[in-house]
């Protein structure tokens, strides 16, 4: 498989990073509070709709249909965008996309761009690529601003600064805003309204000055060439309307055939992500319009591994994802490990199935991600496009086990040996007898059991097995 990078350097395997994060009390408290709040609100918002299950099924079908005929819809989209005055660029991988965007920005003569929050541009590491070309990039989503000012990494798809509390945010604003533009006022408090006002003043300066904006998109309508961005703060609307040039970098799987298909996602996405009945700012644009909004519009269609995911009959359902984050908010592993442990811009359950498919399973972090789940199924239950995440995790685990990397050779030997016994009831009964007869001699922590006995006792073995009891008492 190929290996596209997802815009981040190398990371330790998940168990190591998560094991450290678990002991960070502030992080645990921040994550627990935030995920439980959004989780509970989402449950209420979803329960309001009597036809939720049918909406979910409709969303699944629309996405599956589009993915099945993606070649056709992408060409239709390209024609529609071009006819509406936009220019379409095709990017096979991250380097391609970064080069296209950098060239487009440089051609305007500008050295600054404002950005709408976008997963695709994080995936390809666009900010770093543009910085290397001497272009300053300003994130304008509040949480992305916090991450950027804090020289930090996003840890959640929808709420990138979920790992920060307001005290930490106040400190970052105080220390860093002045280095990037308008400084925070003296005596800034951690009151949410005060923090929002500081961000508003800081960002307004950027919006009014910027002549180039970069965005992603939540959906692209093939029949009309319309792009749609869902956001909650209005920063997206500013970026999409004020600058002269708009460059949108969008994964090819974001296509839907018709406007009518949006009806489903306009209901399921806000309720799943922010637990809102209706999305606060939904911006839709089709090419360019004289005297209204950007005069130049470029659409960069990003593959970056997606075509290979599409070729996998089980794994391709991950491409249905509409980036709502409901699976992160409900995941007990994410809640304790935090987003950074996943070593990718896509954390949580969806990240555990998307990242190893986009990047391959060669590295330690990527091979560890399919195991970063108890298979509890809470993610699948809340997914608004019915991605069976446990099914894909199991599928990816087969690939990792077959690859036989670090730790998996010993594991395979142990499982094969156990399988020999388990396939011979006589040998199993003899083994059980031996174990129960010698139980007084067993050490409390036998060699190799450290991962279990580090925080747990082993169960006490019974005097005899069930099999043995049955033989004596029933037959």
Partner 1 sequence: MRVALFVTCVNDAVYPSTGIATVGLLERLGVEVDFPRAQTCCGQPQFNTGYRAQAEPLVRRTARAFAGYEYIVTPSGSCAAMVRDHYPAFGESALGPRTYELTEFVVDVLGVTDVGAWFPYTVTYHPSCHGLRNLRLGDRPRRLLQAVRGLELRELPGAEECCGFGGTFAVKNAEVSLAMGRDKIRNAAGTGAAVLCGADNSCLMHLGGIIRRQDAPLRPLHIAEILGATEEHPYAQEP
Of 95 and 312, CB closest to partner 1: 312
Give the alpha-carbon dihedral of 80, 83, 87, 88, to 10 degrees. 30
CA dihedral sign of residues 100, 102, 108, 113: positive
- Which of 104, 318, 328, 337 is the binder for partner 1 (CB under 8 A)? 337
What is the smallest separation between the CB atom of 376 and partner 1, expressed in angstroms?
4
90 forms beta bridges with: 301
Give the alpha-carbon dihedral of 87, 92, 96, 102, to 10 degrees. 30
Q: Rounded CA gap, 9 and 19, in Å?
A: 20
Of 108 and 453, CB closest to partner 1: 453
Q: Rounded CA gap, 265 and 385, in Å?
A: 9
Report if residue 442 touches partner 1, rule: CB under 8 A. Answer: no
Contact assessment for residue 302 and residue 254, using Cβ atoms and an 8 Å cutoff: no
What is the smallest separation between the CB atom of 319 and partner 1, expressed in angstroms?
21
Report if residue 467 touches partner 1, rule: CB under 8 A. Answer: yes
213 forms beta bridges with: 114, 246
Instruction: Write out the binding residues for partner 1, residues 9-28 only, by CB under 8 A.
Output: 14-15, 18-19, 22-23, 28
Strands (DSSP E) along 237-349, which ranges?
245-251, 255-256, 281-286, 296-302
Q: Rounded CA gap, 180 and 175, in Å?
A: 10
- Which of 435, 437, 438, 446 is the binder for partner 1 (CB under 8 A)? 435
User: Among candidates 140, 180, 142, which has minimal Cα distance to 161?
Assistant: 142
Report if residue 447 touches partner 1, rule: CB under 8 A. Answer: no
Report if residue 371 touches partner 1, rule: CB under 8 A. Answer: yes
- Which of 50, 109, 455, 472 is the binder for partner 1 (CB under 8 A)? 455
Total number of residues that touch partner 1 (CB under 8 A): 59
* Helix (H) / strand (E) containing 181: none
Report if residue 181 touches partner 1, rule: CB under 8 A. Answer: no
Write phi, then psi, for 285 (nearest 5 degrees). Answer: -140, 150
Which range touches partner 1 (CB under 8 A), out of 54-62, 284-292, 304-312, 464-472?
464-472
Report if residue 381 touches partner 1, rule: CB under 8 A. Answer: yes
Instruction: Write out the binding residues for partner 1, residues 109-128 only, by CB under 8 A.
Output: none
Of 32 and 72, CB closest to partner 1: 32
What is the smallest separation between the CB atom of 204 and partner 1, expressed in angstroms?
42
Report if residue 375 touches partner 1, rule: CB under 8 A. Answer: yes
Report if residue 332 touches partner 1, rule: CB under 8 A. Answer: yes
What is the smallest separation between the CB atom of 401 and partner 1, expressed in angstroms?
3
> Residue for token digits 């309720």?
271
Report if residue 398 touches partner 1, rule: CB under 8 A. Answer: yes
Give the alpha-carbon dihedral of 391, 397, 403, 405, to 10 degrees. 160
Write phi, then psi, for 327 (nearest 5 degrees). Answer: -70, -35
Positions that interact with partner 1 (CB under 8 A): 14-15, 18-19, 22-23, 28, 332-333, 336-337, 370-378, 380-381, 394, 397-402, 411-412, 415-416, 419, 422-423, 425, 428, 432, 435, 451-452, 454-459, 461-462, 464-470, 474-475
């Amino acid at each position: 498989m190929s290996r596209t990078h997802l815009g981040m350097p190398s990371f330790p395997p998940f168990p190591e990073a998560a094991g450290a994060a678990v002991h960070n009390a502030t992080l645990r408290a921040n994550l627990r509070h935030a995920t439980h709040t959004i989780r509970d609100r989402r449950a209420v918002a979803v329960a309001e709709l009597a036809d939720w299950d049918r909406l979910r099924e409709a969303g699944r079908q629309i996405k599956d249909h589009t993915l099945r005929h993606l070649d056709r819809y992408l060409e239709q989209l390209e024609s529609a965008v071009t006819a509406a005055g936009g220019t379409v660029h095709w990017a096979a991988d991250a380097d391609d996309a970064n080069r296209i965007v950098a060239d487009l920005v440089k051609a305007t003569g500008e050295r600054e761009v404002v950005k709408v929050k976008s997963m695709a541009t994080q995936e390809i590491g666009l900010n770093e690529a543009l910085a290397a070309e001497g272009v300053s990039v300003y994130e304008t989503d509040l949480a992305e601003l916090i991450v950027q000012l804090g020289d930090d990494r996003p840890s959640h798809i929808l709420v990138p600064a979920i790992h920060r509390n307001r005290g930490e945010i106040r400190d970052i604003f105080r220390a860093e805003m002045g280095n990037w533009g308008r400084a925070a006022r003296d005596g800034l408090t951690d009151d949410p309204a005060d923090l929002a006002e500081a961000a508003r003043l800081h960002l307004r300066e950027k919006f009014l000055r910027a002549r180039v904006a970069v965005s992603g998109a939540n959906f692209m309508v093939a029949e009309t060439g319309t792009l749609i961005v869902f956001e909650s703060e209005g920063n997206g609307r500013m970026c999409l309307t004020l600058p002269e040039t708009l460059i949108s970098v969008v994964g090819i799987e974001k296509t839907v055939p018709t406007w009518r298909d949006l009806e489903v996602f306009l209901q399921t996405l806000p309720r799943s992500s922010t637990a809102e009945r209706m999305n606060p700012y939904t911006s839709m644009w089709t090419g360019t319009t004289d005297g209204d909004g950007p005069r130049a519009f470029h659409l960069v269609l990003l593959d970056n591994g997606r075509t290979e995911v599409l070729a996998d009959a089980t794994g391709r359902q991950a491409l249905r994802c509409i980036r709502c984050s409901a699976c992160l908010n409900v995941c007990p592993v994410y809640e304790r490990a935090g987003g950074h442990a996943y070593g990718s811009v896509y954390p949580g359950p969806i990240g555990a199935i998307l990242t190893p498919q986009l990047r391959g399973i060669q590295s330690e972090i990527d091979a560890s991600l399919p195991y970063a789940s108890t298979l509890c199924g809470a993610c699948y239950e809340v997914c608004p496009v019915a991605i069976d995440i446990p099914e894909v995790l199991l599928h990816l685990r087969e690939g990792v086990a077959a690859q036989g990397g670090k730790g998996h050779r010993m594991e395979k030997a142990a499982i094969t040996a156990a399988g020999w016994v388990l396939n011979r009831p006589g040998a199993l009964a003899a083994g059980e007898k031996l174990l129960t007869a010698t139980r007084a001699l067993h050490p409390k922590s036998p060699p190799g059991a450290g991962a279990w006995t580090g925080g747990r006792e082993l169960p006490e073995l019974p005097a005899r097995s069930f099999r043995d009891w049955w033989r004596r008492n029933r037959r």
